[in-house]
Structure formats: structure tokens, C-alpha cells
Amino acid sequence: MSFTTESNQSVFANPYLAAVDRANEVPAVVSKIKRLSVDDQLALLWYVYTSMGSDVTAAAPGAARLQLAEGLMTQVKQMSFSEQLAFMRDLINNRSTPETRSYGVLSANTKLAFWYQLAEWMRAGIVIPMPSDYISSPEAQKVLIDLKALDKGQQITALRKLVVGMGVDPLSA
């Protein structure tokens, strides 16, 4: 049997190429999430935060500095349910409002912690809860499967990339 470069490639997989493939998974999943409807994105965030919330807070050392977002958190608590939903939709749509600009100046870790707190308040009924009859689209269900297939570190990275891109940074607007 003769050995060639081509025959060895199938036997000895290139670990660098495998790492590149794994590295591309996070941007691909984030891109898929951003293509979902706003409400499917909100449902996905709620599901992720309620199912892996402790992992998120452990990965967000800025969570201890959530007091930096305390004013915005207080504003959200004081809103009606319809106003809370509009605010969350405005965040995803990057609509410029005083609240989305307040969110825009938060650090990446504080944004992670902010969404975790929203999910906790949704569960407690302080923030508009997830409708019990909500059915996500087939696309959202596929994206959730893709997100679950990532390892925990990649899931946190995907979530971070997603929430960092929300709101409006008043310094760049």
C-alpha cells in the first residue's frame, strides 16, 4: 500500500481545521438567531436564560455590577407589561429610545446579567411573562437545537454576542 498526502488527510484529520470549524459555529448560530422574528428571539432568550441561567451568571463577572444598571432595571419594573414588551422589542430592533440608549452603554457582562434578571422577573411575574400558549416558529426550534449543540462556553459566547448587539450605543449613534 502506498501512502500519499491525500490518503493521509483522511486518516489524520487536521486539528487546526477542526478548531476553525468549531470557531465558526458561534457566529453561524448568532446569525441564525438574528434572522428570527423579534418575538422568537425573545422566546429563545427567555428559554436560554431560564434553562441555563446559573451558567450565564457565573460567566458574567460583571453581574456583580448590575447596580450600574439599577436605574434602568427600576424603570423596567415600573413599566406596564405592554411597555416592557415594547422595550424588549426596541432593544432587539436597535430602536433609539432613552431606555435603549441606557442599555447601550452597559458592559457586555452587565448586559448578560441584565437579560438574566429580566428572565428571573418574567418567571416571577414582575416583567411580562412568556405567554403560556406561545408556539415558536420551526426556524426558532431549529436554532435552539443548534444552540444546544454548542458547548457551554460557546453558548455563553453566542449569548454575549447577541445581547451586546442590542440597544443603541449613544456614543456611536
Model pLDDT for residues 112-144, shown as the tens digit of each residue: 889 888 888 998 999 998 888 889 899 999 999
Instruction: For residues 47 and 50, give the distance between their C-alpha atoms in angstroms, rounded to a whole number.
Output: 5
Specify whether the CB–CB gap between 29 and 151 falls below 8 A. no
Average of per-residue pLDDT values in the chain: 82
Specify whether the CB–CB gap between 166 and 92 falls below 8 A. yes
Instruction: For residues 160 and 141, give the distance between their C-alpha atoms in angstroms, rounded to a whole number.
Output: 20
Query: Which of 141, 134, 117, 120 shows the shortest CA–CA distance to 65?
Result: 117
Q: How confident is the model at residue 27 (pLDDT cuts 50, 70, 90)?
A: very high
Poorest-pLDDT segment among 76-85, 91-100, 106-115: 106-115
Residue scoring higher pLDDT (88 or 18): 88
Q: How many residues does the chain have?
A: 173
What is the pLDDT averaged over residues 99-106? 95
3-state secondary structure of 151: coil
Poorest-pLDDT segment among 15-24, 43-52, 101-110: 15-24
Percent of the chain residues past pLDDT 90, beyond the cut: 49
Which pLDDT does position 61 carry in this prediction?
52
Q: What is the pTM of this model?
A: 0.80
Q: Which fold has domain 5-164?
A: orange carotenoid protein, domain 2 (1.10.2090)
- Domain residues of the chain, as ranges? 5-164
What is the pLDDT averaged over residues 27-38? 96
Which pLDDT does position 36 carry in this prediction?
97
Which pLDDT does position 156 carry in this prediction?
86
Which pLDDT does position 173 carry in this prediction?
60
Does residue 30 surpass a pLDDT of 90?
yes
